Amino acid sequence: MEKTYAYITDRDKGFRIIDVSNPSSPQEIGYCDTPDSAWGVYVSGNHAYIAGEDKGLRIIDVSDPSFPQVVSYCDTPGSVYDVYVSGNHAYVANGHRGLRIIDVSDPSFPREVSYCDAPFHVLGVCVLNNYAYVADWYEGLRIIDVSNPSSPQEVGHCDTPFRMSSICVLNNYAYVVNEHCGLRIIDVSNPSFPQEVGYCDTPGSAYDVYVLGNYAYVADGDKGLRIIDVSDPSFPREVSYCDTPSIAYDVYVLGNYAYVASEHRGLRIIDVSNPSSSQEVGYCDTPDHIKIKSVYISTNN
């Protein structure tokens, strides 16, 4: 029987696994402590990759969701905020120390193979095909050729207003959020010459974005989840929103549901089968209302 799990990072309280197979009644089933603040999370196969802030990259075996265990780690010179895994490599957003590329072909023995500096402070990363797209806070979008992971090279950049915190890339567009400047859409069909083609302001602080089909889902701080129609990238428009009881910090969308990390109020599950009329259908709190920072959804049998 197929199961759906939410993998969440809980800041100073580590890593949690929640069974969301029944969206109206999610249940925490597994927990693993981490030695420092746990930020971003990415799941590939039987392993979860955790951005451990000042403790680098942690790799956790999640083959048994009820008993996740740390199997290895790889220190980095800066603070790690986000991670994206593609093939045999983990791409790590390493703050003031740029993008780090770590070979995870053997999850029990990860090793850094290269890095690419960035001008400011890397907070987010997304990888598609041979390019890593990096959110460099005040310095906007950086595009890095990683066709040879041992020798990454920046090939393009696009300035954005204020602080760029997260990025999602789909087809020929990068969707980025800029805290107080909402959603920006950048044409990256030519990675050497990315250009902004559209934007949609949001009323809160846009921290994260996930794009599925014709819609962008924005975690908008104290203004909850905002749903934006991006079928025309040059004219994105908000079609609905759903309030959350605490700051909406991260979002992942799978099927008919958006899963929102609502900082002090745990995981919120929102039915988005009709994007114009989104509604919360379930939630799972975390102990002591501690800060939930990131969420990743995966299914297995």
| DSSP 3-state of 262 | coil
> Is residue 288 predicted with pLDDT exceeding 70?
no
| Domain coordinates in residue numbering, the chain | 3-300
CA dihedral 29, 33, 34, 35 (to 10 degrees): 170
Q: What is the pLDDT of residues 179-237, one digit of tens each?
A: 889 999 999 999 999 999 999 999 999 999 999 999 999 999 999 999 999 999 999 99
| DSSP 3-state of 287 | helix
Q: What is the pLDDT of residues 7-34, one digit of tens each?
A: 999 877 789 999 999 999 999 999 999 8
CA dihedral 265, 217, 137, 154 (to 10 degrees): 140
- Yes or no: domain 3-300 corresponds to CATH 2.60.40.1120: no
Burial string for 171-193 (b: 16+ CB within 10 Å, else e) reads: eebbbbbbbebbbbbbbbeebee
What is the CB-side half-sphere exposure of residue 104 using CA atoms within 13 A? 32
Calpha distance 79→53 (Å, rounded):
4
Q: Is the pTM of this model over 0.85?
A: yes
- Backbone phi, psi, residue 256, to 5°: -95, 10
> Is residue 3 predicted with pLDDT exceeding 90?
yes
Calpha distance 77→102 (Å, rounded):
13
Calpha distance 99→144 (Å, rounded):
9
Burial string for 88-109 (b: 16+ CB within 10 Å, else e) reads: ebbbbbbbebbbbbbbbeebee
Q: How many helical (H) and strand (E) elements, i.e. helices and strands, does the chain have? A: 0, 28
For the record, the structure tokens of 95 come out as 């703050």
